[in-house]
Structure 1
């Protein structure tokens, strides 16, 4: 007879993911162990392995859960009928709001994705590529004359926006909603005024 899934399975899994992200971010994925994760979760090592068969499986689920949620939240914005500049403002603000409370997950992307098997890397990079295309399309609509026939310039401008957003995450992780929206407005103003002058 198959073992039944506990009623609180999803809550326990979510707690493991959040705690493991913190352990991996603080210790570095290579140095962190499943025993450390179990101790931080206040459960047994055997219990961790009930949920995840390996440290790599745990890492993938952390990043997949985070990037999928970020992807769906931002790309799911209802932007129809809005001017390109307003679409950009809303996308930037939503991205910064989605980053809130996700510092550890965001931090371990850099080290973590490259350590996973190619098929899993492709899934995670797919979320990232979709986000870049989404922002790139908006920027292209904001200043079509600046990017006409030059996809390299459009990509550079798009990645510069992400650079500004990621700077905020790195240095202002504890910022509240008001601070995030304030910075979103700053990035929007810099971007809108900048790309039109390219």
Structure 2
């Protein structure tokens, strides 16, 4: 009989993906070696190959796992019996939460998807397109006139720009955390600057 998988096999795979995503995000996919991944994981290179056959498989799994989670968020939220504005706020809140917990994977998805083979890249991009369509659908429900003017996708991409840029300028120990920022993004997108309401209570500023 062949040797079975260890009880923590899936946990080890997730840990490896997280470390690899961090390395890819910081040094780029081409500039990162399997030796570096193994060292970051505290594993021998031989052990690393027990979980992933090569660096490319790491890239595929990081990108596909992350975009699949985004796809799942959109599908679940659109299935909820909510009015369009509530759906949009839920989508924004859940996307910000996901990005906050997967910043490295998201950077890999946006920066390194070009290194995927055609079939893998198209599969990942198809899932990204579904995410965009889901947001654009809600924009169209909020403003049917924009749907007729083919403006829902451009506005969706502007919204994604706001969400994506959060993670380039926000300080993890600043006065506003990601949970507080999500409704501000939704307010700004749905109603403009005049609709933005300051949080009732800001998180305490943490000391370094």
Q: Structure 1 length normalisation: TM-score?
A: 0.89
**Which stretch of the first structure deviates more once superposed, 114-123 or 74-83?**
74-83
**Which stretch of the first structure deviates more once superposed, 184-193 or 88-97?**
184-193
Contact 1:85 1:142 in 2 (8 A): yes
Contact 1:60 1:116 in 2 (8 A): yes
CA positional deviation for 1:85: 1.2
Query: What is the alpha-carbon distance in structure 1 between the residues aligned to residue 12 and residue 94 of structure 2?
Result: 28
SS in 2 for 1:100: helix
Query: What is the alpha-carbon distance in structure 2 between the residues aligned to residue 187 and residue 53 of structure 1?
Result: 41
Query: What is the alpha-carbon distance in structure 1 between the residues aligned to residue 35 and residue 11 of structure 2?
Result: 20
SS in 2 for 1:76: helix
**Which of 134, 154, 157 is the matching residue for 2:155?**
157
Q: What is the match of residue 19 of structure 2?
A: 19
Counterparts of 1:15-54 in structure 2, within 5 Å, are: 15-54=15-54
Q: What is the match of residue 108 of structure 1?
A: 108
Structure 2: tracts of 5 or more residues without a match = 193-208
Structure 1: tracts of 5 or more residues without a match = none
Bigger relative CO (Cα 8 Å, ≥ 6 apart): 1
SS in 2 for 1:29: coil
SS in 1 for 2:101: coil
Q: What is the match of residue 189 of structure 1?
A: 187
Q: Structure 2 length normalisation: TM-score?
A: 0.85
Query: What is the alpha-carbon distance in structure 1 between the residues aligned to residue 36 and residue 87 of structure 2?
Result: 43
Query: What is the alpha-carbon distance in structure 2 between the residues aligned to residue 96 and residue 79 of structure 1?
Result: 19
CA positional deviation for 1:173: 6.7
